[in-house]
Every structure is written in C-alpha cells, then in structure tokens.
Amino acid sequence: MPASAPNSSVTLHYHRFSWWRAIVCACAALILTLNAAAQSGSTIRVRLADGFDFPVGKPDADGFYKARGYWPNGHLGEDWNGRGGGDTDLGVPIYATGRGVVIFSQNIGVGWGNCILVRHIFREADGKIAMVDSLYGHLHERKVKLHDLVEKGQIVGTMGGNSGMYPVHLHFEVRKNLHIGMNRSQFARDSSNYYSPTAFINVRRTLPSSMQKYDVPVNNFAPYGRAMADVGSDGTQNSGVAVPAFKGGSGAAKGETKQDDDFWSRLKAKMRSGQTTSDADEKR
C-alpha cells in the first residue's frame, strides 16, 4: 500500500487539473458565445421618442443656421453653424435630436473625427412603429458613450471641426437605413437611405409616446472600413418591430461622382466668403 501512495497523489492532482481546465474552457467558450451574440445583433429596451428637435440652439436652432443642406447624390446631411461667424461656435453644445440609444461613439479620424450615432424608435402619424439613426459628426468632444440612453435635448457632444481639418460646424444626418453605420460608401446615396434632416424634424416635432419600452437592435452594422455586417434576421426583425432593411448600392449611384468634387475644400471656401443658404431656406 505505501508504495502506491505517490501514484494516488499524482492521479488526484491530475483530476484536479482536468477539472479546473474544464472550467476555464467552459468560461472561455461562454465569453466567445456572448461576444458573438453581441456582434450579431443584440437589443436594448428603449421608450418611444416623443418628438424631434434640431441638434443645435435648443429650442428650434436658435442662433444657428444651415451652412449647407441635404440633397441626394450629393450632401447627405446638413451642416450647422453658429451666427457668430468664424470658429466662435467651437465647443458649443450639440443635443440629441430625440430620445434614443447611442449605438456608436468613437473618434475614427479620417474625414469623420469624433462621431456619435443615436438610434431612435418612434410612432408615425399612421400608428406604425419606425426607427431612424441620427449622426453627429466632426465633434470637438463626445459626451456620451456606447449604449447610453439619451433624451431629446440632452447634450451628446460639442461642436468641432475634426481637429482643425474643417471650419467648425456640425455635420448632421438622419438615416432610414439602420445598416449604414460609418460605411456610407457601401450604400446608395439617395433618399432611399436618408431623410432630409430638417424635413424629417419639422413633421415630427411632437409624437405620441408612453412608458412602454421596445427592443431596439444595436451592433447591426460593420465597423468603419470593413464589409457590411451579416445582420441576418435579428438585425431586421425584433419583438414585432419591423426594422427597415434596404438594398444599398455598392458603388456610386447613377449620376454620382465618386470623389464628391473635393467637397470639403469647396465648403471651406464658401464659408470663408460668407456664402451660405438664405434665411428662408434654413428651416425647410
């Protein structure tokens, strides 16, 4: 018997090691599963937006003007500036256009800089539940982080110019297509994917809401510079709420220039010379 004791001890240690190894492997597998689930299209519970407002000069864009508007196959959002001129609006508050959840908050550099995306769920006048994404670009600072819940009029960032790359202004977009994320080049640059922001806001200033919460999909678009996410069914249908899915073009739309005619150089020149939209056009 005494001669067999060392072998028994080795066997005991081996079983203990195998047990711990099994636990570690199981935990690693669970983490990988959860990460995969999160990337493939998780959801966050959000209340319906009770209306939308402009992202600057609350209320009603007071003290600000549109330096550039929205048009399909050209400028896919609106550029907002303060009336003080120059870069006097550096650091002014940028507000969430409506209640929603932050689905992107990151400085990706290149032409975007600090960007925030907020996803909104709301009830249209005909009773249909719909969703849109609002984008706030070229920010000086970001004041919210990924998956924060925000209210209409809450500060989400401050106005900037992408660290001096552009004159200080806010680039603001409203997207119908929830799969665009930061990869606009993979989608048709027209009104099948985008709203005119001011037009969208003006007809939805006040909307019916309640205390009920709905599942809003998050993580359903690809990281910047990568291929479109394979969102599958969980990116397009959640708890009875139809999420708009669009067939995006993979190249330039008909009549679209791929380089946008050096847009930012032209915008900088126009802003320095005082060429902007007229007062009559600012809130159309």
Checking if the pLDDT of 6 tops 90, the result is no
The two tokens of residue 32 are 């990988």
113 phi, psi to nearest 5 deg: 70, -145
Tell me how far the alpha carbon of residue 221 is from its chain's centroid.
Answer: 10
Residues 68-82 pLDDT 10s: 999 999 999 999 999
Most distant pair of Cα atoms in the chain: their distance: 100
Give the bridge partners for 118, in sequence order.
102, 134
pLDDT classification of 38: cutoffs 50, 70, 90: very low
Give the H/E segment covering residue 267: helix 263-272
CA 80 vs CA 59, 91, 152, 280: distances in Å: 14, 13, 18, 15
Checking if the pLDDT of 216 tops 60, the result is yes
Q: What is the pLDDT of residue 128?
A: 95
Give the bridge partners for 80, in sequence order.
66, 170
Instruction: Report which residue type is found at 22.
Output: A
Lowest mean pLDDT among 115-129, 152-166, 186-200, 223-237: 223-237
pTM: 0.71
